[in-house]
Amino acid sequence: MKTEKAYKNLDFLNSKDARTLRILAEYLHPKIQLEEEKVMNTIVIFGSARAPSPEELSSKDSLNKGRCKSSKLAEYYDATRMLSKRLTEWSKNLNHEEQKYVICSGGGPGIMIAANRGAREAEGKTATFRISLPFENSPNPYVNPELDFEFHYFFTRKFWFSYLAKALVIMPGGFGTLDEFFEILTLIQTEKMKKNLPIVLFGEEYWNKLINFETLVEYGVIDRKDLDLFFLTSNVDKAYEHVTSSLNSK
């Protein structure tokens, strides 16, 4: 029996000893594909996977199954879709040969699919960096197939989110959104990330109820200037203006 080469041996590649190879694959494969598609700059949009679309909100079947618990989250779905569409239209008009900034989401449902949906409605490229989860495996019909990536490791996924990002929009979300938001803030605050990265924290009512940022300043665990690392708004026009004016100044 002929011995199988190590790089063709699936038992080995899926073993704990080959974890380093799998991590490298999650770096190299997106790198090659993104370069082929000439995607060098992204506007990343985070937010809850549980935000219902207008279609889900009006669906009797969805209501009966208890999927659409919050019309407030539905408002953020609509805001995401609108903002993503406008940013894509703006980006396409910057350079008629290539779309300079590509909307990128986490690839799941809710806010993430709204981001890709808005970009596709503007007939632009759009990308997803998905994570393999047992409860979020439905396809995203709005993403370009060649820019649809699935990751096993959260940290390699986060690397690609932050590495290409030229702006971030953080919509209301749960643990995952908070994790991604605060990791980016930490990288900027500690100057591990040195690029100018405009961050929009969208949804004043939600974020002010969830986090008392002034308490962090009051207790001295952050400086007041750290509050300037993000822009808080509930207005799509203001979010659009903040992102585009920041990127136009580069």
137: confidence class by pLDDT, cuts 50, 70, 90: low
Percentage of the chain lying above the pLDDT 90 cut: 73
| Averaged pLDDT, 52-73 | 66
| Averaged pLDDT, 57-68 | 56
CB contact at 8 A, 147 and 37: yes
pLDDT at residue 110 tops 90: yes
Residue 54 to residue 46: CA distance in whole angstroms: 19
Measured CA to CA in angstroms, residue 179 lies from 26, 74, 174, 184, 244 at distances of 20, 22, 9, 9, 25
Tell me what pLDDT residue 124 has: 94
**Structural domains of the chain sorted by starting position, each given as residue range(s) with its CATH number in brackets:** 38-248 (3.40.50.450)
How many residues would you count in the chain?
A: 250
Measuring CA to CA, which residue among 98, 93, 122, 94 is closest to residue 38? Answer: 98
Measured CA to CA in angstroms, residue 25 lies from 6, 33, 36, 157 at distances of 15, 12, 16, 12
pLDDT at residue 171 tops 90: yes
| Averaged pLDDT, 147-170 | 95
168-197 b/e (C-beta count within 10 Å ≥ 16 → b)? bbbbbbeebbeebbeebbeebeeeebeeeb
Tell me what pLDDT residue 204 has: 96
pLDDT at residue 150 tops 50: yes
Tell me what pLDDT residue 136 has: 61
H or E stretch covering 164: helix 154-164
pLDDT at residue 55 tops 90: no
Tell me what pLDDT residue 68 has: 47
pLDDT at residue 88 tops 80: yes
- Beta-bridge mates of residue 105: 45, 128
pLDDT at residue 57 tops 90: no
77: confidence class by pLDDT, cuts 50, 70, 90: very high
- Beta-bridge mates of residue 129: 149
Tell me what pLDDT residue 250 has: 65
